[in-house]
Structure 1
Amino acid sequence: MRGKTVLPAVAMTAVSMILTLAVVLMWLGTAMPWPVALVVGLGIDGGWLATLAYERRLAAQGDHNRTVTGVGWSFGLVATGVLVAHALTAETSVGAWLAVAWLPLAAKALWLVHGLWERTALTPAALGAIRGIQQEARDEAAVARARLRAEAATEETRLTAVTQAGARVARVQAKTAQTLAGAWSTLEEARDGEDTGRALTSVTTRVTPDVTPRWELPVWGPTETLPALESVPALTDAQLDALVDEIRHSQTPALSYREMSARFRAAGHSASEVRLRAAWKRVA
């Protein structure tokens, strides 16, 4: 992974240094002896390379120096300025020389990208942990989506079944109401008929002589609400104990709990089984 960023930067740096040296020799070699031009070219490239090496050393230590960085960019600008000046003064291929004049700045930019990558690089273990967390999150999301889809399908099936059952109940109720209405009509006709009572009387005369039965068919109509039973006050523990003792000794020998309980309830008294058994234990 490290080579993906450092190799392009190294290659771009080498190309830009060679191109800068060649341009200095060709451009200044006509105005001064070529050894002097070679020294100038090597000075530019050497200064650039030295500042780059110092920057890399600081980056390896986790440090950063703005002065060194500024000097390095200054050498890059000088090299770019040399290439641009040569391109503008060249008699031929001006566009081609201008097209390669940006290589020193591009090399500096690649080293900047490589430094950013180094500051944000993670170990394989950390990357594996991140991939595991992401995969776990995707699995949980997929399971949640599947659960929601299954619950939605189940709810839809339940609602369909309830709706169908409700429709069946409604049909049965409608059919039952229709049957009851027909039975009511039949009862009304039988009750209001003139010969109904005479026919029924003639049938039962031999069974119940000298008794004229009164035939009344059931009436289907509104019902009357029966009055609620008055609430009987609950027995206190002392009263309950007295009743249990009295019933228990009402016969000799004394009654068992089962017999006492039956007589207690047959007499119309009311008490829970727990209280009755507790009273039995107290008096027995």
Structure 2
Amino acid sequence: MRAKTVLPAVAMTAVSMVLTLAVVMMWLGQAVPWLVALVVGLGIDGGWLATLAYERRLAAQGDHSTPVTAVGWCFGLLAAGVLIAHALTAGSSPGAWLAVAWLPIAAKALWLVHGLWERTALTPAALGAIRGIRQEARDEAAVARARLKAEASTEETRLTAVTEAGARVARVQAKTAQTLSRAWSTLESAREGEDTGRALTSVTRPVTPGVTARWDLPVWGPSEPVPALESAPALSDDALDAVVDQIRHSEDPALSYREMAARFRATGHAASEVRLRAAWKRVV
């Protein structure tokens, strides 16, 4: 890579020096002896070459001198001025000389580019390390993108499954609610029917003579929890019959079995459902 920047600068500098020397010889050779013209041409080229060599040595040491750089540009401008002056005073083909008059300035610019390259050039080991770091960064970025895509796909699948499950649950709940609504409507229709009361009375009258049965639908909705009852001593059959009879006749008309059982347990008495029903039958 170093040859790609230094060879054009060397070639253009050499061409510029040859053109400058040739122009000085042709331009001053007619007015002064050719040896004097040769000395003037070599002086311009030598000064330019000397300042260029000093600049290169300073650059190799990692240093820089502004005066030396300024002197080098002065020699380059002087060489370009000589070429431009010769082109303007030449009788034949001035355009050709003007076309090459920029070569000294171009040569200085190429040396400037080469110096900038040297200040920023890296060793092959450093370049290899940089390439490795960049490749590692690209690999990590690719892995991160793949991981994010996989996580997004997994999350999308999970959300889809949850949504479908929720939809199925909602459909089941709606279907269950509809079924319960129809069943509740059927029970309500049966309770409100004209023949329901007579049918229930005909069934319950032989079992509970003298007692008017009351049939209520259960509560459908939120309910309050029943507090736990403290354990009470078991009642004998006679004591149980007395308590049941007392609760049953605590109001007028007499309470139904359901109301009696609720008050029986609310007062803190304890008895199984079988014994309580047996006592109810004995009392009634």
Distance 1:158 1:132 in 2: 38
Q: TM-score, normalised by structure 1?
A: 0.71
Establish whether residue 187 from structure 1 lines up as the match of residue 187 from structure 2.
yes
- Residues 186-205 of structure 1: CA deviation (Å, up to 9, x unaligned): 11122223433554566688
Per-residue deviation, 1:224:
4.4
Q: 1:27-62 CA distances to partner (integer Å, 9 max, x unpaired)?
A: 112222222222211111111111211221222122
Pick closer, same or farther for the CA change 1:223–1:102 going to 2, 3 Å.
closer
2:10 equivalent to 1:22? no
The alpha carbon displacement at 1:79 in A equals 0.7
Identify the residue that residue 80 of structure 1 maps to in structure 2. 80
Query: How far apart are the structure 2 equivalents of 1:175 and 1:209?
Result: 40
The reply on whether 1:219 has 2:218 as its aligned counterpart is yes
AA in 2 matched with 1:140 = E
Matched, 1:59 2:59: yes
User: Counterpart amino acid of 1:93?
Assistant: S
Instruction: Tell me the amino acid that sits aligned with residue 159 of structure 1.
Output: L
- Using a 3 Å threshold, how does the CA distance of structure 1 residues 229 and 94 change in structure 2: closer, same or farther? farther
2:130 paired with 1:130 = yes
**Corresponding residue for residue 142 of structure 2:** 142
Please say if 1:162 is aligned against 2:197.
no
* Separation (CA, whole Å) in 1 of partners of 2:30 and 2:93: 18
The one-letter amino acid paired with 2:120 is T
Code of the aligned partner of 1:57: R
Return the alpha-carbon distance in structure 2 between the equivalents of residues 42 and 67 of structure 1.
22
3-state SS of the aligned residue for 2:119? helix
Q: Which residue of 2 aligns with 1:236?
A: none
Q: 1:172 to 1:203 in 2, by over 3 A?
A: same
Identity within the alignment, %: 78
Please, which runs of 5 or more residues in structure 1 have no aligned partner? 231-284
Deviation at 1:209, TM superposition (A): 9.1
Conservation of the 8 A alpha-carbon contact between 1:197 and 1:215: no
CA distance change for structure 1 residues 50 and 209 in 2, over 3 Å: closer, same or farther?
Answer: closer
Amino acid at match of 2:72: G
Answering whether residue 42 of structure 2 is matched by residue 42 of structure 1, we say yes
Partner residue in 2 for 1:171: 171
Q: In 1, distance between residues paired with 2:222 and 2:49?
A: 111
Count of residues in Structure 1 that have an aligned counterpart in Structure 2: 229
Q: 5 Å matches for 1:182-261?
A: 182-196=182-196, 198-199=198-199, 214=213, 216=215, 218-226=217-225
In the TM superposition, residue 155 of structure 1 has moved relative to its aligned partner by: 2.4
Query: C-alpha separation between the residues in 1 aligned to 2:23 and 2:228?
Result: 120
Let me know the Cα RMSD of the aligned residues.
2.6
State the Cα distance separating 1:227 from its structure 2 match.
Answer: 5.8
- Paired amino acid for 1:115: G
Q: CA deviation at 1:214?
A: 4.0
**d(CA) in 1 for partners of 2:181, 2:50:** 111
- 1:119 paired residue number: 119
CA deviations over 1:220-246 (Å, ceiling 9, x no partner): 43454246569xxxxxxxxxxxxxxxx
